[in-house]
């Protein structure tokens, strides 16, 4: 299967629902090593995304993804808004001219999204950020696409790897973002942004039928 603009809008509703369902969990993770706003930041942002993609006439995947990026940048405060916003804008650029996203295009979009996050936030693997979830997700997505996987298979592989990547942040000492202010005391706690990245990918994969 492939993913049309309409499929993508449905997937974004699933992401908004997942983020809303996990608002308290994300906020609690961010309370421990941040400022307790990650759940609310993302809930507000993806609610605005759903309103936006429902009201505008967006007939290509690139148009939908671009609307997501600009909406997240304008409605989510803090570090994660510009990071996720840039991720979606770069993903939009990776699928221009396509009316449907297939497995390889989905992997390319994820790779572009990671490039955006890194360009914006300068985090490396091991810095205890969303990059620790997104980077292995991209590797798994590319491998799944190369093995002939469709969108659902590519996103499922990405979600699986992101879950493990998010878990891997627990022992790490944060070197980027607010959690880095805690130094060694940030170790022993899951990174909220890595967790939300895994949640978002899981919702996208489920919506694609994985």
Q: Is 175 in the site for ligand ADP (CB under 6 A)?
A: no
Our measurement of the distance from residue 144's CA atom to the centroid of its chain's CA atoms, rounded to an integer in Å, reads: 18
x/- binding map, residues 106-145, to ligand ADP, per CB under 6 A? -----------x---xxx-----xxx--------------
Of 62 and 75, nearer to ligand ADP (C-beta) is 75
Alpha helices in the chain (DSSP H): 5-21, 23-33, 38-55, 61-75, 80-94, 103-121, 131-146, 151-167, 192-207
Q: Is 31 in the site for ligand ADP (CB under 6 A)?
A: no
Rule CB under 5 A: choose which of 39, 69, 78, 121 binds Mg ion. Answer: 78
Q: Which tokens hold the place of 75?
A: 């409605």
Rule CB under 6 A: choose which of 61, 103, 165, 192 binds ligand ADP. Answer: 192
Contact 117, 123 (CB under 8 A): yes
CA angle 37, 42, 44 (to 5 degrees): 95
CB under 6 A: which stretch of 3-11, 101-109, 146-154, 174-182 binds ligand ADP?
A: 174-182
Q: Is 34 in the site for Mg ion (CB under 5 A)?
A: yes
* Burial class of residue 97 in the structure, from the number of CB atoms within 10 Å of its CB (0-12 exposed, 13-18 middle, 19+ buried): exposed
Of 39 and 104, nearer to Mg ion (C-beta) is 39
Chain contacts with Mg ion (rule: CB under 5 A): 30, 34-35, 37-38, 78
């Amino acid at each position: 299967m492939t993913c049309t603009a309409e499929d993508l809008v449905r997937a974004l509703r699933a992401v908004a629902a997942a983020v809303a369902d996990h608002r308290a969990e994300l906020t609690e993770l961010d309370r421990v090593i941040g400022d307790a706003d990650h759940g609310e930041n993302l809930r507000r942002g993806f609610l605005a995304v759903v309103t936006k993609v429902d009201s505008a006439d967006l007939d290509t995947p690139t148009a939908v993804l671009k609307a997501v990026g600009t909406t997240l940048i304008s409605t989510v405060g803090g570090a994660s808004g510009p990071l996720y916003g840039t991720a979606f804008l770069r993903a939009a650029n990776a699928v221009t001219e396509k009316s449907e996203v297939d497995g390889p295009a989905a992997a390319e979009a994820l790779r572009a999204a990671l490039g955006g996050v890194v360009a914006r936030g300068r985090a490396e693997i091991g810095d205890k950020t969303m990059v620790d979830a997104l980077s292995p997700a991209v590797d798994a997505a590319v491998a799944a696409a190369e093995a002939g996987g469709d969108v659902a298979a590519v996103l499922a592989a990405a979600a699986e790897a992101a879950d493990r990547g998010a878990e891997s942040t627990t022992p790490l000492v944060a070197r980027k973002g607010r959690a880095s202010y805690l130094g060694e005391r940030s170790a022993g706690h899951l990174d909220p942004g890595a967790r939300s990245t895994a949640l978002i990918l899981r919702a996208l994969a489920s919506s694609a039928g994985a």
